[in-house]
Amino acid sequence: MLRRVISIDLGGTNIRAAIINEKLRIEKVIKSSTEKLNFDILFHQVINLIDSLMQSKYPIDAICFGVAGRVRLDGYINELPNLHMSDIPLANMIATKYGLPVFVINDAHAAGLAEATAGAGKHYHRSYFITISTGFGGAMFVDKKFVVTSDEVGHTLFNYKGHYYELEHLVSGTGIKKLCELNGLKITSSKELFEGVKESKVDFIRVYEDWLKLLSEAFQFIAKTFEVDVFNITGGVMKSQDTWFKTFKARNKNLKIVTCHFKEDAGLIGGAVYAFNHTHVKK
């Protein structure tokens, strides 16, 4: 019988939970909009998702979370910046309730692990995963193994018009809104900026060019710092890739930049890989 785990991608916008078997196939996936600010409500959301998946006719061997924040090796969450929450012993809480091995890792670590082991980065020595979504996250892998580099790359400071900002506050999905605001434009979503570019709106194109420049600086900095062979890229902003991705790659011809094989499922698959690896189950 195939072994199975529950993998949960706890993002800034949605929580996605899935049953994944040891062949890394998703058997069932459900989701819910992520509760911000109130951990009690968020915890009940997570429990409801797990309980729903636990009704499967097959036993579950472990649970793994990929979360958008800083996490200790014991599964204690130091901070979830995009949800404005901190100091959460999530692994212990879930393990106590279900009596299963529970793992909590950074979401970029999870998604990058999927790509490095079984996706777009599997044939490369040094692969770097990047997600551009609600936030901006990254993770480095050497020979399919996660390498601890520094604090989250999205919190690296970059100069913009004489002031320093965290990278994700300028180039992520929510960062694009901030970037527009700094230039006197009000938009409701990053998609609106790209639509404005398609319509050849001069003010939108000006901000778009600044965004491309900042994003290029970030990729070049990462590539030089970590000697990256390939970048695997995904995230909500890729939904507008028909507007910007080809141009972005053309401006960074010295870099190998590819879209993720697993797309939005990378975090779920990577969580499963991590759970199987750490419960000594062969994939």
Q: What is the pLDDT of residue 283?
A: 42
Answer whether 0.85 is exceeded by the pTM.
no
Average pLDDT, the chain: 93
126 and 256, same domain (yes or no): yes
Q: What is the pLDDT of residue 12?
A: 83
Structure tokens at 65: 């979370």
pLDDT tens-digit series, residues 147-185: 876 657 888 899 999 999 999 999 999 999 999 999 999
51 and 138, same domain (yes or no): no
Q: Give the chain's domain count.
A: 2
What CATH number is associated with residue 46? 3.30.420.40
166 and 201, same domain (yes or no): yes
The end-to-end CA distance of the chain, in Å, is 13
Phi, psi of 33 (to 5 degrees): -70, 135
Q: Is residue 15 part of a domain?
A: yes
Q: If 0-12 CB within 10 Å is exposed, 13-18 middle and 19+ buried, where does residue 97 land? A: middle
129 and 181, same domain (yes or no): yes
- Four-point Cα dihedral 69, 74, 75, 79, nearest 10: -30
Local confidence band at 277 (pLDDT 50, 70, 90 cut-offs): very high
pLDDT tens-digit series, residues 106-129: 998 999 999 999 999 999 999 999
Q: Is residue 269 part of a domain?
A: yes
Least confident of 46-55, 143-152, 235-244: 143-152
95 and 125, same domain (yes or no): no
Structure tokens at 203: 């003010």
**Which range of residues forms the domain containing residue 160?**
120-260
In terms of residues, how long is the chain? 283
* Averaged pLDDT, 69-83: 90
Q: Is residue 112 part of a domain?
A: no
Q: Is residue 90 part of a domain?
A: yes
- Four-point Cα dihedral 215, 221, 225, 226, nearest 10: 20
45 and 162, same domain (yes or no): no
Residue for token pair 């690896």: 277
